[in-house]
């Protein structure tokens, strides 16, 4: 086969706790990650010449080595130079549906799809954990994007413990079209403002990690208790992003005022989401919030929780 099409789903965070600093300069996190069926489609095609070409229909997505999908292909070609020489180059076409710089891991999911797709195209025979290990070198969310579903992520978010699949849950997502939040800014600002509360030694770090492992949100997921999950949504980054971006705060309040299971900002934002148990209810909430906010610059999506990560289209 000389061509594959893959589905690359977005993710939301149901929980994001910043535990402390790591020696590598990143933050130690405890997160619950959830795939949703808002997804990009990635076409991967073998081309004769030994080069990597990226095409994307979205103006804000780079089509050069700045693209995470390009970097995933470059990493594999460097790792397996003989295979690259034998099979030649690759053309990667990204059909963007996931909003960009939105806290939904769009770039990471594209990179995850390229790793999975090239493994097939180049017949590398890598295991999922080998692909995840390679992905972790490019971005902390990539290992999760490969596996998908519902997972607890610790470390930088790349150490995954799969959790119970959550079925029949819907997310209404909303994002101001021209607003993006820099992920490094959000984490650095958090460090400046809340660094005092960081775990200061290894024991303390481990006990805070364990507290999430055996904590209420993981238990609510294990029991598929949707009401509880909604009540326990948590994201430390809201503490720095919401005061800086009042319109995101207002959007979150508008969702929370509806009869929803819960509402929160995803990742470093600025996407806000609310959870419901049916698509009908999700549509009602979307139209109520759209009417209330009355802003033509605000986009809405309805997505279902997805039990898998990268799959063939
Ligand atoms: P995360 O939730 O992992 O922080 P995000 O959803 O906030 O990510 P992305 O959509 O992945 O953000 O994009 C972040 C930046 O990365 C964008 O400004 C974009 O220019 C760049 N980028 C590089 N490759 C891609 C890609 N394949 N898709 C989208 N953005 C990309």
pLDDT tens column, 249-281? 999 999 999 999 999 999 999 999 999 999 999
109, 71 Cβ separation under 8 angstroms: no
**59 inside domain:** yes
Residue 215 belongs to domain spanning? 170-304
Q: Over the chain, what is the mean pLDDT?
A: 95
Is residue 21 within 8 Å of residue 191, measured between CB atoms? yes
The answer to whether residues 150 and 281 belong to one domain is no
Q: Which atom of ligand 1 is nearest to the CA of 267?
A: 2
Same domain, 123 and 174: no
- Among protein residues, the one whose CA lies closest to atom 12 of ligand 1: 101
d(CA 228, CA 32): 14
> What does the pLDDT read at residue 188?
95
- Assigned domain for 310 exists: no
Q: Please indicate whether residue 100, judged by its CB atom, sits closer than 6 Å to ligand 1.
A: yes
- How far is 263 from 197, CA to CA, in rounded Å? 25
Residues 6+ apart with CB under 8 A from 110: 8, 40, 42, 67, 68, 69, 72, 94
pLDDT at 92: 98
Q: What is the CA radius of gyration of the chain?
A: 19
Q: Are residues 179 and 112 in the same domain?
A: no
306 lines ligand 1 (CB under 6 A): no
- Closest atom of ligand 1 to 110 CA is 27
Check whether the bond before 270 is cis (ω within 30° of 0).
yes
Q: For residue 187, how many other CB atoms are within 10 A of its CB?
A: 18
DSSP state of 197: G
Contact predicate 151/164, CB 8 Å: no
What's the pLDDT at 1? 64
User: What confidence tens digit (pLDDT) does each residue in 58-91 have?
Assistant: 999 999 999 999 999 999 999 999 998 888 899 9
Q: What local confidence, expressed as pLDDT, does residue 254 receive? A: 98
> Whose CA is closest to 107, among 118, 87, 92, 121?
92
**Is 11 a residue of the active site?**
yes
Q: Which of 139, 164, 189 is the last residue of a domain?
A: 164
If asked whether residues 197 and 283 sit together in one domain, one would say yes
Last residue of a domain, one of 164, 192, 224: 164
Distance (Å) from CA 227 to ligand 1 centroid: 31
Cα separation, 88 vs 70, in Å, equals 15
Q: How many separate domains does the chain show?
A: 2
Q: Can you tell me the distance from the alpha carbon of 23 to that of 39, in angstroms, rounded to the nearest whole number?
A: 34
Whether residue 133 sits in one domain with residue 63: yes
We report the CATH number of the domain holding residue 95 as 3.30.230.10
Check if 93 has its Cβ closer than 6 Å to any atom of ligand 1: no
Q: Is 103 in the same domain as 190?
A: no
From the list 259, 250, 304, 266, the residue with the least C-alpha distance to 284 is 259
Same structural domain, 226 and 143: no
Structure tokens at 207: 């006990």
Which one of the listed residues 141, 175, 226, 236 is annotated catalytic? 141
Could you tell me the mean pLDDT of each successive run of 10 residues in the chain, 313 residues long? 93 96 91 98 93 95 96 97 90 97 95 98 96 97 98 95 95 95 94 91 84 93 97 98 97 97 96 98 98 96 98 98
pTM as predicted: 0.95
Pocket test for ligand 1, best of 9, 29, 61 (most atoms within 8 A of CB): 61
Looking at the fold, whether 28 and 158 belong to one and the same domain comes out as yes
DSSP three-state, residue 42: strand
Compute the distance between CA of residue 66 and CA of residue 251 in angstroms, rounded to an integer. Answer: 31
Q: Are residues 157 and 180 in the same domain?
A: no
Q: Measured from the CB, is residue 69 less than 6 Å from ligand 1?
A: yes
Among the options 11, 96, 175, 226, which is catalytic? 11
Please tell me the predicted confidence (pLDDT) of residue 63. 94
State whether 181 and 135 are in the same domain.
no
Residue 200 lies in a domain: yes
Asked, for residue 313, whether it belongs to a domain, the answer is no
């Amino acid at each position: 086969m000389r061509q594959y099409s893959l589905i690359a789903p977005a993710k939301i965070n149901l929980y994001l706790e910043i535990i402390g600093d790591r020696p590598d300069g990143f933050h130690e996190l405890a997160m619950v990650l959830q795939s949703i069926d808002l997804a990009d489609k990635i076409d991967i095609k073998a081309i004769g010449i030994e080069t990597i070409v990226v095409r994307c229909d979205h103006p804000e997505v780079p089509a050069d080595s700045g693209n995470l999908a390009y970097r995933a292909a470059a990493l594999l070609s460097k790792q397996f130079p003989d295979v690259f020489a034998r099979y030649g180059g690759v053309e990667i076409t990204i059909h963007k549906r996931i909003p960009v710089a939105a806290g939904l891991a769009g770039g990471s999911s594209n990179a995850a799809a390229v790793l999975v797709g090239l493994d097939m195209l180049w017949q590398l025979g890598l295991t999922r954990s080998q692909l995840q290990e390679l992905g972790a070198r490019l971005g902390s969310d990539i290992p999760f994007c490969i596996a998908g579903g519902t997972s607890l992520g610790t470390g930088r978010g790349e150490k995954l413990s799969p959790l119970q699949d959550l079925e029949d849950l819907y997310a209404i997502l909303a994002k101001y079209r021209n607003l993006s939040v820099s992920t490094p800014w959000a984490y650095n600002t958090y460090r400046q403002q809340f660094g005092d509360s960081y775990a200061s030694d290894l024991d303390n770090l481990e006990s805070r990690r364990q507290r999430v492992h055996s904590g209420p949100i993981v238990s609510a997921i294990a029991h598929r208790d949707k009401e509880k999950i909604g009540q326990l949504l948590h994201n430390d980054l809201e503490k720095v992003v919401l005061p800086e971006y009042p319109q995101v705060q207002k959007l979150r309040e508008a969702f929370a005022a509806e009869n929803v299971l819960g509402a929160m900002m995803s990742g470093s934002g600025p996407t806000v989401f609310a959870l419901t148990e049916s698509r009908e209810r999700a549509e009602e909430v979307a139209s109520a919030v759209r009417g209330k906010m009355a802003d033509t610059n605000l986009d809405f999506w309805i997505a279902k929780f997805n039990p898998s990560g990268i799959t063939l289209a």
